């Protein structure tokens, strides 16, 4: 019987499962190299640890490993039901809360070693976690795409650690839970239309996150969003990388000032706060702040005779 220890948390509603022991040996190379080894050789572990029947499509996994870079409290590899990830904002907040729960960090500023580089974060005394995200940018403003069932949809393409297409909610569908199925179907159509039209990020990267927005319902937020993630689940949090991408658009439009704090409201009504600085290379550097709560300390059991030892068998 294989045993894998994990800590579950949710960040403003979006779950993260941090693998703390029993994961595969990925060697001692850079975290980027270890992510490649994980993706190439351990896809069964990825599927087993977060997908059904031990998890769900919504769960984001985070493998905690020894850091490679100096002065980092840990290394981390994020993954979801579609594969491995570079950066995950809500997942980083979940990892930080988990490290505090394990007694491995105290309040203050620390560094995390990730496949996209070192991410600095601050665990505040009020339990809010601030994550200094990667440089973010808008690459297309007001691009029009012909979408089946919707007609022409106009939106922005932006990078916030993942590629996003950001547009007002189609057909003005309210961003609320009882409309999730419709919004999911339309977001898939937008994603397909972007791919068909050959619209990508400026590095050729697929736009695999679709973000719909509407005016905020909360007084402390500037917008509310619905974000469809690559594996078909929608983000329950305001999406850290999605909030960063939206901030890049607002900065490009001159709608927010340096350091100005804005609230992002999620599809379920939870909140991140974001603001930005400009780094020495002139890039927009968003910081995202939010909270996470520990929901379980668990041990996954994998019995070799279990037909679902690597998740639901692929058809
Ligand atoms: O918080 O960056 C994020 C994120 C991406 C996908 C799900 N959450």
pLDDT, tens digit (0-9, with 9 covering 90-100), for 185-244: 999 999 999 999 999 999 999 999 999 999 999 999 999 999 999 999 999 999 999 999
Q: Which of 19, 26, 15 is nearest to 5 (CA)?
A: 19
- Ligand 1 contacts CB of residue 274 (under 6 A): no
Neighbouring residues of 16: CB distance < 8 A, sequence distance ≥ 6: 8, 9, 10, 59, 60, 61, 62, 88, 90, 91, 94, 95, 98, 292
Model pLDDT for residues 282-308, shown as the tens digit of each residue: 999 999 999 999 999 999 999 999 999
34, pLDDT greater than 90: yes
Q: Is 88 in the pocket of ligand 1 (CB under 6 A)?
A: yes
Cα 153 from Cα 157, distance rounded (Å):
12
Q: How far is CA 226 from CA 41, 110, 142, 177, 184, in A?
A: 33, 30, 19, 10, 9
Catalytic hit among 72, 229, 239, 249: 239
Mutate which of 97, 227, 245 for ligand 1? The one with the most ligand atoms within 8 Å of its CB, which is 227
- Which one of 17, 78, 115, 241 would you pick to mutate in the ligand 1 pocket, going by the greatest count of ligand atoms within 8 A of its CB? 241
For residues 116 and 61, which has the higher predicted lDDT (pLDDT)? 61
* Mean pLDDT in residue range 18-28: 98
- How far apart (Å, rounded) are the C-alpha atoms in residues 291 and 122? 12
Residues contacting 230, CB < 8 A, separation 6+: 80, 82, 83, 208, 209
Task: Inform me whether the pLDDT recorded for 315 exceeds 90.
Answer: no
Determine how β-strand 60-65 pairs with β-strand 14-21: parallel
**Distance from the alpha carbon of residue 186 to the mean position of ligand 1, in angstroms:** 19
pLDDT value for 51: 97
Q: What is the pLDDT of residue 305?
A: 97
Q: Is 128 exposed, middle or buried (0-12, 13-18, 19+ CB in 10 A)?
A: middle
Q: What is the DSSP secondary-structure string of 218-232? A: STT-SEEEEEE-TTS
Mean pLDDT of the chain: 97
308 catalytically annotated: no
Cβ–ligand 1 contact at 90 (below 6 Å): yes
Q: Mind giving me the DSSP string for 173-241?
A: ---SGGGHHHHHHHHHHHHHHHHHTT---TTS----EEEEEEE-SSTT-SEEEEEE-TTSPBPSS--HH
Known catalytic residue at 88: yes
Averaged pLDDT, 19-31:
97
Q: φ and ψ at 37, to 5 degrees?
A: -65, -45
Q: What is the pTM of this model?
A: 0.97
Our CA angle for 296, 161, 156, nearest 5°, is 120
Reading the block at residue 82, the tokens are: 């579609």
Residue 281: the pLDDT is: 97
Give the pLDDT score at 286: 98
Q: 48 in helix, strand or coil?
A: helix
* Tokens of residue 161, six digits: 């650690």
Going by pLDDT thresholds of 50, 70 and 90, the confidence category of residue 184 is very high
Instruction: Return the closest-CA partner of residue 156 out of 126, 136, 181.
Output: 136
227 CA from centroid of ligand 1 (Å):
9
Backbone Cα Rg of the chain: 19
Q: Which of 72, 88, 221, 249 is catalytic?
A: 88
Q: How far is the CA of 41 from the centre of ligand 1 (A)?
A: 24
Distance 306 CA to ligand 1 centre (A): 31
What average pLDDT score do residues 99-115 get?
97
201 lines ligand 1 (CB under 6 A): no
| Cβ of 89 less than 6 Å from ligand 1 | yes
pLDDT at position 314, please? 85
Q: What is the mean pLDDT of residues 71-95?
A: 96
pLDDT higher than threshold 90 for residue 138 = yes
């Amino acid at each position: 019987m294989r045993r894998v220890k994990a800590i579950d948390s949710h960040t403003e509603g979006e779950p993260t499962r941090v693998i703390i022991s029993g994961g595969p040996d990925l060697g001692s190379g850079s975290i980027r190299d270890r992510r490649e080894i994980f993706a190439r050789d351990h896809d069964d572990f990825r599927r087993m640890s977060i997908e059904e029947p031990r998890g769900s499509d919504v769960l984001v996994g985070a493998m905690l490993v020894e850091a490679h870079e100096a002065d980092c409290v840990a290394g981390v590899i994020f993954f979801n039901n579609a594969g491995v990830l570079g950066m995950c904002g809500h997942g980083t907040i979940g990892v930080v809360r988990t490290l505090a729960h394990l007694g491995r960090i105290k309040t203050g500023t620390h560094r995390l070693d990730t496949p996209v580089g070192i991410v600095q974060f601050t665990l505040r005394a009020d339990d809010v976690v601030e994550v200094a995200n990667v440089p973010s940018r808008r690459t297309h403003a007001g691009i029009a795409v012909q979408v089946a069932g919707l007609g022409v949809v106009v939106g922005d393409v932006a990078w916030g650690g993942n590629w996003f297409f950001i547009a007002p909610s189609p057909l003005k569908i309210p961003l609320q839970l009882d409309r999730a199925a419709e919004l999911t179907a339309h977001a898939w159509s937008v994603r397909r239309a972007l791919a068909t039209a050959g619209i990508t990020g400026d590095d050729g990267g697929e736009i695999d996150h679709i973000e719909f927005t509407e005016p905020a319902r909360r007084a402390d937020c500037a917008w509310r969003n619905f974000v469809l993630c690559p594996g078909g689940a929608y983000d329950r949090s305001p999406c850290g990388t999605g909030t960063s991408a939206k901030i890049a658009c607002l900065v490009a439009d001159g709608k927010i000032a340096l350091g100005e704090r804005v609230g992002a409201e999620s599809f379920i009504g939870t909140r991140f706060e974001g603001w930005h600085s400009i780094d020495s290379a002139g890039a927009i550097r968003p910081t995202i702040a939010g909270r996470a709560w520990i929901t379980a300390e668990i041990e996954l059991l994998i019995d070799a005779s279990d037909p679902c030892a690597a998740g639901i068998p692929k058809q």
